[in-house]
Amino acid sequence: MTKVACIGECMIELKQAQGTQASLFSRGYGGDTLNTAVYLARLGAGTDYITALGDDSLSDEMIAGWAAEGVGTTRVARLPGKLPGLYMIQTDDKGERRFFHWRDSAAARSLMDLPQTPEILGSLATYEMIYLSAITLSLYGEEGRARLFAALKRAREAGARLAFDTNFRARGWPDLDVARAVYHDAFELADIVLASTEDLLPLYPGESNEALLAQIPGNEVVLKLSEPASILRLAGVSHQIRAEPLKAPVVDTTAAGDSFAAAYVAARLAGADPKEAARAGHRLAGVVVCHAGAIIPRAAMPPGLIPTTSGKASP
C-alpha cells in the first residue's frame, strides 16, 4: 500500500557544470517536495507525487525519472500546452546556494483549478501520511489553498496524518502577513511540523528558539537550528538532538532539509520514536550536503538509516 502523498512542484534545474566555464550548465530536475519524495522512496516508503506537468518532452523525462526512483506518478496531472517551471543554481565556495526562478506560468500552479482537482484531492484520504511544504502552499491562490486545506481536513478525519515543512521562500508570497496567516493555518492542521530557524526567523524576526516553537501549537515539532542540531518538542517537552560530525566537507547544502524530512517521516512510518527519527534525519542530511545537487547517488545512501520499533535499524 502507498503510504505517503507528497504535494508540490518539480522544476527543470540548471546548474553550472563542474570544471567548466561559467556559460555551461547541466540540466536536471528538482523541487523541495519532489526531493523528499525520492528519498522517501529510496528509504522504502511507498510514495506518490502529486503535481501538474505539461505534455512536453521535458515533463516526460521527469515522469520517467520519478518512476525509475520508485515514486508513483498516477496522481500527476498532464496539461496540454503547459511547461514545468525552471530554476538555476549558483553555489559559493562554502556550499551555500542561490536560486533564480522562472515559474510564474508553470503547470504546477494550476493544480487546484483543474477538472480533475476534486478527484486528486479526494484521493488524499487514502494515504497514511500527506507531506507538503510552505512552498507548496505558495503555489496556489487563496481559493486554491482553501480547497487544499478542506481536503486535508477530510483526509485527517479519515485517518491520514499531515507533515508540514516550513520551507520559506519570500519571493513566493505577496507579503509577510499573508505568509504568516497561511503558516498559522498549516500549523493548526499539521500532525508533524518540520521547521527551521532559517525558515521562521524571516517571518518572526528576532525571536528566540523558544518563541519560534511557541508559534507552533502541535504536539510533534522539530526545529532545526543554525548549528548541527535540532530541538524536538513532544507534547510540550523539548529535547535537543545533536547531529553526528560530518565525515566529509560540505559541498552543496541543496536538499539538506528535504532529505531530513524524508528520513524523519520514513522513520516515523516505520514505527520509530521521534528522537530516533530526528537522528535519522540529521544523518541523511549530513550525507546529502557532502554531495553536489539535491539527489545523491544511490550508492551514497547511508545503510541502516531507518530505526524501527524494535530499536534496530533497517537494512
Q: How far apart are CA 306 and CA 315, in angstroms?
A: 8
Secondary structure (3-state) at 123: helix
In DSSP terms, 223 is beta-bridged to: 195, 231
Secondary structure (3-state) at 232: strand
Q: Assess whether 92 carries a catalytic annotation.
A: no
Which letter, b or e, does each residue of 30-57 get, where b requires 16 or more Cβ atoms within 10 Å of its Cβ? bbbbbbbbbbbbbbbbbbbbbbbbbebe
Instruction: Name the one residue in this structure whose C-alpha cell is 518532452.
Output: 57
Q: How far apart are CA 167 and CA 164, in angstroms?
A: 9
Contact 313, 277 (CB under 8 A): no
Which one-letter amino acid corresponds to residue 223?
Answer: L
Q: How far apart are CA 284 and CA 282, in angstroms?
A: 6
Q: What are phi and psi of 204, to 5 degrees?
A: -130, 70
Q: How far apart are CA 314 and CA 201, in angstroms?
A: 35
Q: How far apart are CA 189 and CA 37, in angstroms?
A: 21
- Three-state secondary structure along 167-221? CCCHHHCCCHHHHHHHHHHHHHHCCEEEEEHHHHCCCCCCCCHHHHHHCCCCCEE
Angle at 6 between CA 81 and CA 311, to 5 degrees: 160
Q: Which candidate in 93, 165, 258, 273 is catalytic?
A: 258
* Positions marked catalytic: 258
